[in-house]
Structure formats: C-alpha cells, structure tokens
Amino acid sequence: EEGVLSCSHTIVQVLICVMLRCMLRRPLAISRPSNWTRQLCCAGDEPYRFERLTGENEGIGVISMNRKKVNAMGKETLTFMSSIMETLNADKSTRVVVVRSLIPGIFCAGADLKERVNLTEDEVRKFVQLAQGMITDLEQLRMPVIGALDGHALGGGLEFALACDFRVAATNAKMGLVETALAIIPGAGGTQRLSRLVGRSKAKYLIFTASVVKGAEAAEIGLVDEVVEQNDTGDAAYHASLDMARKIIPQGPVAVAMAKQAVNKGIEQELQEGLRTEWACYENVIPTKDRIEGLMAFKEKRKPVYRGE
C-alpha cells in the first residue's frame, strides 16, 4: 500500500509540474461574445467544441476538449461550458451528450494552476464558486451525459466527470481528487459526489491521501460504470460511450429526461418525498405525443418514432 501511495503522489507531482510549465496565464474576467458558441462549435482549432453527430449516431452531441496539453480548467472552460449548456437545455435534437478529450492520455488534469497562482483570494473564491455552479449545471442537463475517460481525470477534471450521469474509462485512465496534495480540498462538488458514488469511508481515504486509481480499480469501487481496454488510437472509452449512447437514443426523450430528474432529485429525499417527486415527473409524460406513439407502436407491432413531444 505504501508503494501504491508513493506512486500515486509521484503521478500527481509530475502532472502538477507539467501544468505549471505548460499553461498560459489568462485574465479573470469571464465575458461571453454573442458568437462564442458558434465559434467553438465550428472551429476545429479551438480549445473546446460541440458537434452533433449524424448517421447511426444521430441524436448524440459531443463536447470535445483540446486545451493546451492537459485540458486545464480555466475561465475559458467556464465560458464555453456555460454557453453550450444553455444551448443544450433548449435543444430537442440532442438526446445524449458525450464529453471527451482530443488530447491523448488526458481527459482533464484539473484546474489551470498557472492561472490560479496569480489570483487573489477573492478571485479564487469567485472562480471556484463559478466552477461549482458550472459543474452542477452539467449534472442538471435534461439529457443523459456520458464522460469518456480515455486518459487521466484529476482534481477538477474528476469533479467534472463525477457530474456526468455515466463514466466510461479506458484501462490506462487514472483518476483522483488530488487537491489535498496542494493543501486545498475539492471545491467543485468532489467531496459530495464522490462520497455518494463510492461511500463515505472510501471517499475520505481517496481524498485524504490524494490517491490515484486506474480504470479497473475505479470500476471495482463504483467510480466508473464501465472500463474498456485502450485501443491503438487511444479512444476506446469514447467509442464505448457512443455504444452506450446508442442504447439510450431509441427511448422516449421526454421519458428519459423525467427519469433522470426523478432519480437525481429523489435520491436526496426521504422515500415518501421521493415518491412524490417521481409522480410529478410521471405527470409530465402523460400528455406527451410520444406516450401515445409508444402505445400505437406496440399495438401495430412496429418500432416507435419518438420526437420528444
């Protein structure tokens, strides 16, 4: 165990050094140009982009991260994610979202430490609060979100993944809330979401020791939902995430959204209150055209065609 912890801390130290050397300082102010979403959706050389897939993947939207060498989370991240989530919440054509990285071996290495080291205490407070809000907004998207972890997810990067409905990890991926190694704590929901996934004691151990776990162990403790062998192109988790998304796409989108809401809200409530939440969500599917389509398709022995109405 001592050797494992030593290895984990070595990984953390190396990644921190890489982040400090490679990331550029950016201003704190977060502005959102009116054409921000369009720019990031369409320009392949941007650090973030969103695209809607076609063909057999129709209905899947993909958020791709390509920020410098480690996808460090900075003001740029908050601006894009806030913008695209506003778009997605009003978008009926996207039924599942997959979040991936285009950088080999990295999902997201956490906060932009080069940026962070130059912030005042008040600026740090502002940024962490905004990051917590952005990650909560991701969790509350009406459609399912799948995190494709084809590489390391550390600190804020893992907090980002924890807000996804599902996490698919490749065997080479390493995950950990390593903030205590920097004398801070996870501040974007990590202490709360990790403990709800893996249990209080295990979450404390992982956080207190700044431990890093690999894909297979992450699956064993319930941190990820599926682990796959990495392929030669380094995108096995992404393709497995698309497979998972394709299983969700044929289902009624309003029903899936209401089921997500019922589970997410209900799990935080007492049983009787949770049952009331479930019924409120059920009420929302009763007047839908999709519900009638499902009944007619069953009667006519054909596949239903759901439109999210």
Q: What residues are annotated to the active site?
A: 111, 156, 159, 179
Say how many C-beta atoms besides its own lie within 10 A of residue 304's C-beta: 18
What is residue 16's three-state secondary structure?
helix
* Whole-Å CA distances, 77 to 30, 49, 184, 235, 298: 10, 11, 21, 22, 45
Q: What does the block give as tokens for 256?
A: 């899936």
Q: What does the block give as tokens for 225?
A: 């939902």
The helix (H) or strand (E) run that includes residue 85 is helix 75-89
Q: Which positions ≥6 away from 10 have C-beta within 8 Å? A: none
Q: Report the distance separating Cα 149 and Cα 185, nearest Å.
A: 22
